[in-house]
Structures are given as C-alpha cells and as structure tokens.
A and B are shown apart, each in its own frame.
Chain A
C-alpha cells in the first residue's frame, strides 16, 4: 500500500513540475490565444478595409456627419430643414423609425391578441374569419402588402381640391389625414399637471384597492375611479381655468392644406401594413399560448363560477403569457426591422434617409451601413432586454 501511495505521490509531483499539464494553466492559455486571435482578426479587417478605401480614393472617416445635408425630409418629429447637418437628418430618420415601430408594436399586439382569441371562439363564423385572416396575411410577402396599402388605398382617395371633409374640421385626401392641431394657451400647463397628478393617483388607487381586496375581500371600482381621476378631474380644471386651448384648422391654400397637423399616407400605410402583417403571426403565438395551458385550469375556473371572459382574463392568459412572451419578442424585433421597408413607399425612416440618401450623397457606404447596423442592434437589444425582464416578472413562482 505504501509503495502505491508513494508512486502516486511521485506521479503527482512530476505532473506539478510540468507547468503546461495543469488544467487551469491550459485554460488560461487557450483563452488568451483566442482573445489575441480575435483582436488580430478585427485589427486586420479594419486596417485592410481602410487601406483598400484609401487606395481607391474613396473618402472615409466620420467627419461627413457634420456636413450640410442639402435635402429635405417629408416627415420629421423634430425641427429640420435642408441647412442642417447629416447628423440631424440621422436623428430625424431614427425618430421616424422608433415612432412607427412603437405604434406598430402596440397596434399589432392589440389586433394579434383579439384575432388569436377569436380563432378559439366557439362562434363558427368568428373563428373561420380569424383563420382566413391569419392564413392569407401570413403567406403574402410583407413588401407586397405595403405596396397594396400604399398604392391601392392612395389611388382611391381624392386630390386636395376634392377632399373628403370630416367632422371636427378634419380633411381626408391623397396627401394625408389633416387634423386640427391643438394650440395650448398660457394656462394649459396647469391642466397638464392635473392630468399627471390624476395618472399617479389612479396608479396609487390600483395598488391600494389590491391591498384592500387581499385584506378584507371588498373590491373598489378601480376602473371608474381611474376614469374619473384621469379624465374628469383634468377636464374640470380645464373648464375652471377658462378653456386655454384653441385649434389651428387646416385650410386649402394653393396646392395643399396649410395649418393643422397631418398624418401622412406613407406613415399610415406603413403602420397599417406592418401591424396587420405582424398581428397575424402574433395571433398564432397567442393561440398556441392559450392552448398550451392545461385544460384542467379552464374547467376548474368554469366550475368555480367564473364567466368565459373572467376565465380568460384571470386564469388562462396569465399562465399563457409564459409561452407567449419569447416568440412575441421575436415578432416585435421583426416589426422593428421590417420598418426599414418604408423606403419602398417613401416613408423617411432611418434606412431611407441615412442608408439611402446620405449614403448616396457622401458615397461612404462602409461607415453609413456600420452605423445603421449598430442602431438596429441597439433597438433590438433594448426591446429584447425589456421583454426578458417582463418575462421573468411573469414567470410562475413554483412552490
């Protein structure tokens, strides 16, 4: 026994003596080699690209961002004219993308949930209509759908001189939906403040009501209280302050309507096209989530006396959310990236303004595309990061 133990010790001693046989040393070496190789690869790629660009006399570097743009953009959330820089145009394009993506995600989620639940309805007509919607919209390429919404809908609207006049001083024509713009008076800040206070109070009411229900079982009418706080209270303040709000009505002058605010047909077409397309996918995800909840839950809820709507809202959907949220994140990312198709229907999103016009005017394809990719990567990471947090929040706590 002592001999074998002695041999074992000798082997271990010999192993310790050889530096490279130690596992921790080997791991460190492999990692260092990999990092060095990666850094060398990126360094080589960057210097090779720069060298080739220089040899071909193609301008490179990022100074072009401060140059004057010289072109106009049809829709801009921030002030912009053609004397501003390319950097400003970039921000305009970015905001346009974010706006259409945000509203698109909202609209697509609402429509998707409704259609998904409708597909499982016991009403034969409703269920079949939802199925037809999903199957048709899912299988037609999204670019064709955008063209349909833009050109088919555009062609049916009249010119500005023959606009449809709508109630409230709004006009609908081929150039867009013209709405009266609210012009806040000097004391409108107080009304805005009242609205915010109402919002905060209604959230407080929600938590308070939940606590009270857990403690005593009494339920407060949260919905009506919130409505009163958010709508009636600011309205009261508004009337008391003397109605400090006037409207700027759109009027036909020359070629187009002047004044008011306008929803451009490009924005509407892109929003509708993207939302309806993505909603068809979300409908299927919602349906799979609901069907993934075990039937016993549904039967137990009905046995307890809950109505169909209550069963869905309180029992099935909270459990279905676990299944729904990860693929839902993918659909949100798809919608954000599909908004780049706006360039085909003249919507000035990031790709159209930045990777289209600016790339062509400056010729610096490498820098411009790099920045575009980074922007989309950031947007996608932010969206999926938020959704992952939401997913964890929704996860069932197993006891």
Chain B
C-alpha cells in the first residue's frame, strides 16, 4: 500500500511538473490577450509566448565583446531556482513528493536567487541601462522580500506549519473562518506578487522605453537561447506566484496526490483559478497606471505595514480568544 502511495505521489509530481512548465507561457499569453481585448484591440493569440520562445531558440546567440566568461551562466542561474520553486509550489494537488521541502522561506530564497542572477546579468556588460535596471530591481527586491517575510509570519502562525502544503491543508481543513489578518495578508501578498512579477503598477512588461524599463532593461544585451531562458523564467515566475496565491488563499477543491480520483476535479479547479487570476490581473493592469520608480518603495512600504497589521490583529484575536 505504501509503495502504491509512493507511486501515485511520484506520478502526481511528474504530472505537476509537466503541466507547470507547459502552461506557463499560456498564462502569460492569456493575460496579454485579455488586456488587448479589454482595450478593444485584437491582440496576440494566447499561444504567442510559445512562438516567441521557439523563435528565440532558433536565432543566433550573440555574445558582446566586453562580456566576461560568466555571461552565458546567468540565464541558467536565473532559470534553475524558479524551476525548483515551480516544483515546490503545489498546483492541482497537494501531497506531492516535494511537499515536505516546500518551506515557504525556501521559496522566497529561490525567488531571490533568481532575481540576483538576473541583476548580475544586467550588470554583466557594464552598459548604462542594464545597470539602471539592476539598481531599481535591487531597490524593489529589498522591500518586496521584507514585506513577504512579514506576511509569511501570519500564515505560519495561523497554520502552525512552514510549508506551503501544510498551510494549504490547514486553511482547507480547519475552520479558520473570515479572518481579518488574512485579508490584510492577502492585500500585502498581491502587492508583493505584482512587484516580483514586474506587472503594471511597478514595471510595464510591454514597455519599450529604455528609461522606464526595469526587468527588460537588464536583458537588453541578451539574445537567442539566452534570452529565451530569461523569458521562460519570467513566464514561470508568473505561474508560480499565481499557484502560490491560489494554493494559500483559495485551497478549496485541491486534489490529494494519494487519491487518483480527486485529480481531475483538482486539475479543473486549478485551471479555473489560474484563468480567474489572469483575468483579474488583466483588469487590474488596465485600471491602474505605472508608478514612478521612487513611488514603488512607498507602495511596498504599505505592503510591509499591511503585513505587520495582519500580525497585530492575529495576536489581538488570539488574546481575545483565550
């Protein structure tokens, strides 16, 4: 019986990995298409990111003359941590083989590692826009990670478990009720997620003005396969964040790896959640404008304080409860 369970969990893990890697470009494409449709344009087809990746892989990979020998290393260093994080965050079912490792602090660390590799890639050739983009990304990263750490405190205190899997299980099975702290934490998490994935109030993914770019500015010197890896990293990061938010705040209907009959429902619900988050993101991006760079720390400061407030209210509720 234990062997069968292990086999099922292995199958679920492989299926999860395949789905996350295969669907990540589609999620990005869906957001772009929805945005264009809402603006009244026809927009690119949702499958456009796949075509972009194929095109980039076919192109010649150029290396600038003044690049160091580390130049081709950064794309892999950026991609690998995100790929690992994609395996750790549960998607359609909980209880994957990696469930025990999915410590939320580890995931934050992996995201930070990938960010560091991209920043170093931006600094690599020593040209101006890359350096500016790197400086901005570091600035955002400091605040975003602080906010995320404060918010994680609330989850861990409520769920008594540091793993994403455990948090999801606790939020699904125990009667948490409408918790004020979770509302604050949700707001803070959304703000951090928008920053980390470089979406509109912080950075414009469709922007082509070098002076205003953050994420794209660091990749200007990259081409061909290297650029394809960076693009894949960005797509995967968006999907990982969406899965993370869906798993923590909306764990209902998530399947169990040892119960193969719960997989189809979990799969369908996961896809619905991803689609809902994508459309929510598209609507939000349309209804807000990009902030000035030096407004972003303020925006993330609000996220930090919301995380703090959620912890304060958690303590308040617990002291009243006792």
Q: Do A and B bind each other?
A: no
* B-to-A contact residues, CB < 8 Å: none
* A-to-B contact residues, CB < 8 Å: none
